[in-house]
Chains A and B, each alone.
Chain A
Amino acid sequence: MLALCLGVAAGIGGYTFRYAEGLSYFKTDPRACVNCHIMQPEYDAWQKSSHHQVAVCIDCHLPHDFVAKYLAKAENGWRHGEKFTTQRFVEPIVVQAKGRAILQENCLRCHGDIAQQIAGKSPAEEQLACTHCHFGVGHGEKAGVGGPLTSVERPEH
């Protein structure tokens, strides 16, 4: 009886994991980040941003050493999963303090050589964030920040 119960639980659990594409979270494919739908606008906007060609989600949003990376993945995954499943969150969603620090470190990981004098002291939390000014690099610019509208957005007929 016990074995049956455990078997059913494991079966459903395993199927849920597979159905929810659990394994995709161990990869680097940005599409995994839109599995749970909530990141769709961020994903869409990233495709229009200047960093689209050079960085995927995790390049900016996760630490780059193995242990810290999987800790951050686990923490974010749990929080996002819990909030989305229970639908308890306020939009627009914003990056949290920990996430901002990771982001800043990743800006400097690539651009540190030229940004050293601007970024100044560590730790990252105390620096003026690169994205404070360059907030359009990852997810495109908000309407209008790039200047007046052009006719280019007109659909083809």
Chain B
Amino acid sequence: MADAGRISGADRRGRGGSRGLDCPLLTNIFERKAEQRAPYVRLVEVGENDTDPAKWGKNWPAQYDSYRRTALLTKTRFGGHQGSEALPAEKIARDPWLKRMFAGYAFAIDYRDRRGHAFMLFDQEHTERLSKPQSGSCLHCHASIMPLYRELGGGDAMKGFAETFKLSYQDVSQKLHASGHAHPVACVDCHDPSNMGLRVTRPGFLIGIQALAASDAPVPALPSIRQWREGGRQEPYDANRDATRNEMRSFVCGQCHVEYYCGSKMPLTFPWGKGLSADNIEAFWDETKFPHGEPFADYTHAETGAQVLKAQHPEFELWNQGVHARSGVSCADCHMPYMREGATKVSDHWVRSPLLNVNRACQTCHRASEEEMKARVDVIQQRNYELLQRGGAAIVDLIDALVQAKTNGTTPEMLEKARRLQRRAQWRLDFIAAENSMGFHAPQEAARVLGEAADFARQGQIALLGGVSTTAVAAPPTAAASATAGPPFASVSPPAAPAPSASARP
């Protein structure tokens, strides 16, 4: 699999050279020149309602070929699925602490390893989580749904989107199939059919990034938001108007590879109004109320009764905390690196782990051997994995202690305090566990979050014993730290940091 990226080399050799026996060199040169002059030929017209990628494939065969490879099964040490056509292995069987943590939520029923983009709709339609009621919001990301949103909203996609959370998954799914747009993520979801430029279409992202821009959270990796803030904020931030080309190469992915609420009590929400870090998002959820007024929670833990949060897959958010984002390296740079087809340069639409494509994904910037690059990643992921398992053990201990405390006369106040610590610990643990890079997208941040997760879980145990953690330090009342420190719990906060550099630069 490591050499899979070079398949296209073999493909290329098949083309060109042998045509015209009389003067192959001349025709070869002619072909390359033609390729450079016209990177694509628009054989068929495509529009906003053309969700079938096969039609776009007539105009952009190289991109389409690689897109189709997302149906191939790939695996790295910590992610993916390979070896059989059956559904991937259960994560909750491999790491039983996940199942404990999700008690009372459908992920305790079925939670498997991931497969490529081509499977996103099929796998969702076949998960046993559907044995419980699920909201129509899920299809925001699992299908090429924009035409259906427009249809439901009488032409206005935002209006259609705002309706779907009330409908059941089965209901929206049935409408989707009836409308003929039941495709996994398709060309039209990220590309403007008139000029092939990148664009974002998903309402959840458009609303979420607008809220992020309007906040004062630092965004060192998103220069267009800084510029928009400096520019007077006349009109709301619009990613399609304001973002740089480079940002768009991450924004299109951030339409789905993010944390969100997708239940049936309110519309799909990207929780970015206070920033993108795990603490920012927790603070956002803590302040959120459902329309009927009750405080936000994803579910009630079946064993302990705690009101807990479920992290989805915050790849975009964690990437934003890391050095690659800060250096201007986009999602597509590593997950869809450029490759060459004859004289033209195309983005590899076989979106996959960079570890399967180290040559193009890493070595364009890093001047170290493939083995060295893989070894560096492995060290990061191994450390993250060990911390994660420690966090898993800590959360199970807290759940055990809470279950026991419910029957041994522990005061309701102590129980409540421990439950709230469970929420904080579990949120952090899940944030890194559900994120699909095993810590790589921002190693130090991932370790920080996992360290806090274990600490909060152990603080919960101490609380049940009637004690307070003696190592806890109160948080200073700065704006940045208010997100980190919920009122009654101990949080360790850093000494005042030097003036943030990125936003202060001209």
Contact = CB atoms under 8 A, between A and B. Distances in A.
* Interface of B: prevailing SS: helix
B23 A154 contact: no
B253 interface: no
A14 to B, nearest CB: 11
Contacts of A154: 223-224, 227, 242, 244
Contacts of B360: 91-92
B244 A153 contact: yes
A25 to B, nearest CB: 14
Contact of B359 (A84, A91, A155): A91
B118 to A, nearest CB: 26
Given A37-B32, A37-B36, A143-B327, A148 B25 contact: no
Contacts of A15: 26
16 contacts: A12-B26, A37-B36, A40-B345, A84-B32, A89-B9, A90-B359, A91-B340, A92-B363, A135-B367, A142-B365, A143-B327, A143-B365, A144-B326, A144-B327, A147-B505, A153-B223
Contacts of A37: 32, 35-36, 343
A142 B363 CA distance: 11
A19 interface: yes
B494 to A, nearest CB: 20
A151 B222 CA distance: 9
A19 B26 contact: yes
Interface of A: 12, 15-16, 19-20, 36-38, 40-41, 84-92, 135, 142-145, 147-151, 153-155, 157
B333 interface: yes
Contacts, number: 95
B339 interface: yes
B240 to A, nearest CB: 11
Contact of B339 (A41, A91, A151): A91
Contact of A151 (B221, B230, B343, B359): B230
Given A16-B26, A87-B16, A91-B340, A149 B32 contact: no
A38 to B, nearest CB: 8
Contact of A144 (B244, B328, B359): B328
B197 to A, nearest CB: 11
B501 A90 contact: no
Contacts of B32: 36-37, 84
A86 B29 contact: no
Contacts of A90: 6, 9, 359
A19 to B, nearest CB: 6
Nearest to A151: B227
Interface string B310-328: 0000000000000110111
Contacts of B25: 16, 85
A155 B245 contact: yes
Given A15-B26, A153-B223, 12 more contacts: A16-B26, A37-B36, A38-B343, A85-B17, A85-B28, A86-B17, A135-B367, A145-B327, A147-B505, A149-B220, A149-B328, A154-B227
Contacts of A36: 32
Given A19-B29, A87-B9, A92 B364 contact: yes
Interface in B9-29: 9, 12-13, 16-17, 22-23, 25-26, 28-29
Contacts of B340: 38, 91
A60 B84 CA distance: 53
